[in-house]
Structure 1
């Protein structure tokens, strides 16, 4: 599945790149696209600290308005992730705790500045809700596993290039979900993530 998504994203980039030419009104109107990149989940708690990387993939929809070179817009995103992190010997020798990322919903706004007829720099921010699964085993008969939804915020920025009705983006974003309240076996965990993604899509 990942290979299919990657192939589709690369095909969009290859097709769009030679066609870059001035649009009548670039960065305006509704759009849909695919998302593919690297997801780094970070954990920080007493005895549990670290990060691990995986693939993030999904889709984005949105709407932009070009106000004389300044672009304002709204967007929504659905992604899934293969990132997670595990640690051993946290509270007692031989125990293990792990946190695995799941689907992530995002809704927010963008503000961009047109640096070229078909290129803009932008910043973004909004609300994010992610699913996560935590498991813990002390290797002495005490274990639990459960999933939860984490609410937080996302900020980021990137570069977008437009060609006729197609676009390609390179974007970095940071999401913070605050403290993940676990069971009494494991201290509460501060959770956050860094993502670097490529987006490719079509504007209507």
Structure 2
């Protein structure tokens, strides 16, 4: 019976917080710097994210966000095993589930830090001139970052954000992002 009372009390507390939650969706793009065991390559990242921000106190908020992004970052090498062969490693999709904690700076600006889980896909392609083989691997990791968000009026907002992600097998990335979104 105590479990039901505890659950009921938590639901009563969460209902007003959820009622004040601000949902949003955003498109984002930016620079992507991928490092694998010391070597790095740069490209562009692009994607979408959606989430909720919950006011905790007058100037403090907590948020959750899920996102998916792609990348143009690719590195190739030729003549590795035979003359004319080519090996390419390409950064694929990146999935993320993060939490944000921040402060309202005035009525239209937020500063925040973020952290959470990320999963990246790497695609490796080898072409020896006759046969082409391709394989992919999913890598789990964590993401840390910080950002600045500004409301433009109505439901439109923009943001600038830095993210660092560290994955398994010596793989990491640095993102510099700019986003444009709509709040509901």
Asked whether the two chains share a fold, i.e. TM above 0.5, the reply is yes
**Where does 1:111-126 land on structure 2 (aligned, <5 Å)?**
111-126=101-116
- Are the aligned partners of 1:50 and 1:85 in contact in 2 as well (CA < 8 Å)? no
| 1:32 aligned residue | 25
**Where does 1:45-64 land on structure 2 (aligned, <5 Å)?**
49-64=38-53
1:174 matches 2:154: no
| 1:161 aligned residue | 150
Larger radius of gyration: 2
| 1:108 aligned residue | 98
| 1:11 aligned residue | none
- Are the aligned partners of 1:41 and 1:85 in contact in 2 as well (CA < 8 Å)? no
Q: In structure 1, what is the Cα distance between the partners aligned to 2:166 and 2:100?
A: 18
TM-score, structure 2 length as denominator? Answer: 0.77
Q: In structure 2, what is the Cα distance between the partners aligned to 1:104 and 1:135?
A: 18
Q: In structure 2, what is the Cα distance between the partners aligned to 1:59 and 1:166?
A: 15
Q: In structure 2, what is the Cα distance between the partners aligned to 1:148 and 1:157?
A: 28
Number of residue pairs aligned between Structure 1 and Structure 2: 163
| 1:6 aligned residue | none
Unaligned runs of 5+ in 2: 1-19
Q: Runs of at least 4 residues of structure 1 off by over 4 A?
A: 87-97, 141-144
Aligned-CA RMSD value: 2.6
From the superposition, tell whether residues 89 and 191 of structure 1 become closer, same or farther in structure 2 (CA, over 3 Å): farther
| 1:130 aligned residue | 120
Q: In structure 2, what is the Cα distance between the partners aligned to 1:176 and 1:92?
A: 33
